[in-house]
Amino acid sequence: MKLFSIDGPLYNFFSRLLDMIKLNVLWFLFSLPVVTIGASTAAAFSITLRMVDEREGYIAKQFWTAFKANLKQGIPAGLLNLFFVYALYLDFQLFHAVEGNPIYFLILGIVGSVMCFGYFIYAYALMARYDNTLLKTLKNSMDISVKYFGRTVMIAVVVAVEIIVFIFNTTTMFLGLLIGPAVIFLTISGPAMYIFRDIERKSKEG
pTM, rounded to two decimals:
0.90
Residues 6+ apart with CB under 8 A from 34: 82
When the pLDDT of each residue in the chain is averaged and rounded to a whole number, the result is 91
pLDDT tens column, 77-112: 999 999 999 999 999 998 888 877 889 889 999 999
Per-residue pLDDT band for 34 (boundaries 50, 70, 90) equals very high
Q: How many CA atoms lie within 13 A of 162 on its CB side?
A: 19
Per-residue pLDDT band for 114 (boundaries 50, 70, 90) equals very high
Residues 6+ apart with CB under 8 A from 160: none
What single-letter DSSP state applies at residue 92?
Answer: H
